[in-house]
Amino acid sequence: MSEIGAVSLLLALLIATVGFGISVYAGVQRSAVWTRVAERSVGVVFLLVTSAMGALFLAFIQHDYQLVYVASHSARSMALQYRIAALWGGQAGSLLLWLWMLTAYAAAAIWFHRDRVRNLMPWVSAVFLANALFFLVLLVGVTDPFEKLPPGHVTSDGNGLNPLLQHPVMMIHPLMLYTGMVGFVVPFAFAFAALLTGELGESWFRTTRRWTLFPWLFLSIGILLGGRWAYEVLGWGGYWAWDPVENASFMPWLPATAFLHSVMIQEKRDMLRTWNLLLIGLTYTLCLFGTFLTRSGIVQSVHAFAQTPLFVSVFGAYVLITAAVFLVALFWRRAGIRSESKLESVVSREASFLLNNWVFIAILMVVFWGTMFPVFSEALTGNRIAVGPVFFNTMAGPLALLLLFLTGVGPLIAWRRASLSNLRRQFVWPTVCFVVTAAALLAVFGADLGFYALVAWSLAAFVIGTIVQEYARAIRARTRKGEENALQALGALLRKNQQRYGGYVVHLGVVFILIGTTGSVLNQESLENVKPGESFGIHDYRLEYRTADAIPAQHYGGAVARLALFRDDAPLATMTPEKRMYWLEQQPASIPSVYSTLREDLYVILTAIENDGSATFKVYRNPLVNWIWIGGVVFVLGTLLVMWPHPERR
């Protein structure tokens, strides 16, 4: 089967090369016949890459240790699901997964638009095939997933997968991230095709709205799952460390989110055309850059790949060329992009959306600079200097507060120009929510809470007040007619204006996430060494260490400790943190035990078991952390409400 995979990639490279030439020819000649040929070549490349993916899957399932990639990332003692997930556990397999998803998106986009926007399709096909060509060149010439070991070096077992990746979330998290990051190739292709053809009206972004929302949703899910994985697996009691790989997924999310906001202004007022094209180009370029960042190994991360000079040079050059070509096309069409509509007032919804965009870009610059600072410092001084969470939180924290404020302000301000009476009427209820919440927090926590948390939670109340007010007024306006009750009115709002009212649900999810992250200011931690039968406490919890037992597992060994958890002498749960050693990989791992409530998590880590039978535990109390995951669920539901198709709107 490995030979089938290797041949499939070679054939795909040949078809993609020919198809790219045909696409360019069809675009220049405006030939409908050759456009169809180019589109079919995309479908053939997808089928060939699918064949290669299937061959590599079978190689992992069947323990084909003749292949260097299979031998390096799996072992017979691994469970089947982790052997399958090992396909994207290394560089070659992850690039093949990226290529497969790219060609799947390309084939789907061409199928759905086979009878629409025909003038754009040859150039759309060209963009798809150019991207596929690049990854095919990498897989065939630089990092071959079907490379074989010399006959004398084939072993009966493999080296195994990084134990940190052997977790159920890691079977889903990479797929979600890839579905998101790769998916932005579709709006990028249509935007680039619009620039080349000069058809810069509404067709390109109306055509690709759902093609933007879909990957944005999955990228968001991937980021949240990555936080959950870090929280459960890495054993440091946190969910976000501003790790370069975390930042690599967060950076394209920022301009994509800005685009989804500013595109509404282009729809309503025919403004921000340049902004929208630039944001789409920036989003996909950052998706490529994020892949380059993690696959090249130029930055240190718990899940970055090994660095190879050839790979760094080739991939880095491709990212720069992609960005440069798009910017040149944007500059070339600058006259046709200009809009006759102008910003009429700084106190308008358009102005708040524009400021919203600038804040997203400012956060992006902070994240980019902090992520790449070790590379920049090494190039300038010869010393690699990294910045930590303090830098990111200090620089991005105030911007996040401003963004939260704008989230509440945007719906309250009228289009074009807001009047004083309108502002007074709209801001009363949200402002009351802000003031009452701030006063209540000061009364409960006093000066211990800190300025950042006080402002963040008060602004969260402001935004929630805005959302409730918008829903209440809209429902009341519909029920006054006497034809609908409140529930029917709510359904009509979500059906007839799903972009607006579904968007409010998304905003509510974001507010919950920020409430959860800000809860970290109240975190507590404790490090204790206790003997069996002894107890220790944190806040109003008491933990009694009972015993530790060996783990009877084939792939790893270690110990599991048992602790009884009490609050005010009332029993709550049995905590079972583990300390593992993966034999094949010779790598330790800590598996925490977590007691969760809506109010807080108690997070227990077994750090060591001593010769005298005592054990050392690290315990974290993480208030409000579960509101991050609750907010994630609300966020996803809101996005689905925005995307949900309704027959009368087709």
Measured between alpha carbons, how far is 566 from 107 in angstroms, rounded to an integer? Answer: 57
Which residue is associated with the tokens 């109306």?
A: 206
Measured between alpha carbons, how far is 113 from 186 in angstroms, rounded to an integer? Answer: 11
Strand partners, 573: 565
Amino acid letter, 421: S
Q: Which CATH class is domain 522-627?
A: mainly beta
**For residue 62, with 0-12 CB atoms within 10 Å meaning exposed, 13-18 middle and 19 or more buried, which class applies?**
exposed
Measured between alpha carbons, how far is 647 from 357 in angstroms, rounded to an integer? Answer: 32
pLDDT of residue 646: 60
| Per-residue DSSP letter, 67 | B
- Tokens for 209? 């709205």
Where in the chain are the domains?
Answer: 1-164, 522-627
The pLDDT of residue 608 is above 60? yes
The pLDDT of residue 307 is above 60? no
Cβ atoms of 517 and 456 closer than 8 Å: no
Cβ atoms of 631 and 643 closer than 8 Å: no
Q: In this predicted model, what pLDDT tens digit does every residue of 271-299 receive, in sequence order?
A: 778 888 999 999 999 999 998 888 777 77
SS (H, E, C) 88-138: HCCHHHHHHHHHHHHHHHHHHHHHHCCCCCCCCHHHHHHHHHHHHHHHHHH
- Tokens for 2? 């490995």
Q: Which residue has the higher pLDDT, 552 or 228?
A: 228
Q: Output the CA torsion sign for 244, 216, 164, 389.
A: positive
Max alpha carbon distance in the chain (Å)? 84
Lowest-pLDDT range of 7-16, 39-48, 478-487, 605-614: 478-487
- The pTM of the full predicted model, rounded to 2 decimals, is 0.92
Q: Give rounded-to-5 percent helix, strand, coil for the chain.
A: 65, 10, 20
Among candidates 209, 199, 260, which has minimal Cα distance to 649?
Answer: 209
> How much of the chain exceeds pLDDT 70, in percent?
96
The end-to-end CA distance of the chain, in Å, is 44
Mean pLDDT (the chain) is 88
Among candidates 225, 128, 140, which has minimal Cα distance to 182?
Answer: 128
pLDDT of residue 566: 95
Cβ atoms of 453 and 518 closer than 8 Å: yes
The pLDDT of residue 48 is above 90? yes
**For residue 562, with 0-12 CB atoms within 10 Å meaning exposed, 13-18 middle and 19 or more buried, which class applies?**
middle
Sequence-distant (≥ 6) Cβ neighbours of residue 594 within 8 angstroms: 232, 601, 602, 603, 604
Number of Cβ atoms within 10 Å of the Cβ of 200 = 18
pLDDT band at 7 (very low <50, low <70, confident <90, very high): very high
Measured between alpha carbons, how far is 538 from 540 in angstroms, rounded to an integer? Answer: 6
Strand partners, 617: 528, 606
Lowest-pLDDT range of 74-78, 118-122, 161-165: 161-165
Region of 562 on the Ramachandran plot (φ > 0 left; ψ -120 to 50 alpha; else beta): beta
Cβ atoms of 106 and 46 closer than 8 Å: yes
| Per-residue DSSP letter, 624 | T
Among candidates 135, 71, 144, 74, which has minimal Cα distance to 100?
Answer: 135
Q: Which residue has the higher pLDDT, 161 or 504?
A: 504
pLDDT band at 77 (very low <50, low <70, confident <90, very high): confident
Q: In this predicted model, what pLDDT tens digit does every residue of 440-484 receive, in sequence order?
A: 999 988 877 888 899 999 999 999 999 999 999 989 988 887 778
Sequence-distant (≥ 6) Cβ neighbours of residue 278 within 8 angstroms: 330
Measured between alpha carbons, how far is 42 from 47 in angstroms, rounded to an integer? Answer: 9
pLDDT of residue 275: 87
Highest mean pLDDT among 349-353, 485-489, 550-554: 485-489
The pLDDT of residue 325 is above 70? yes
pLDDT of residue 650: 45
pLDDT of residue 192: 94
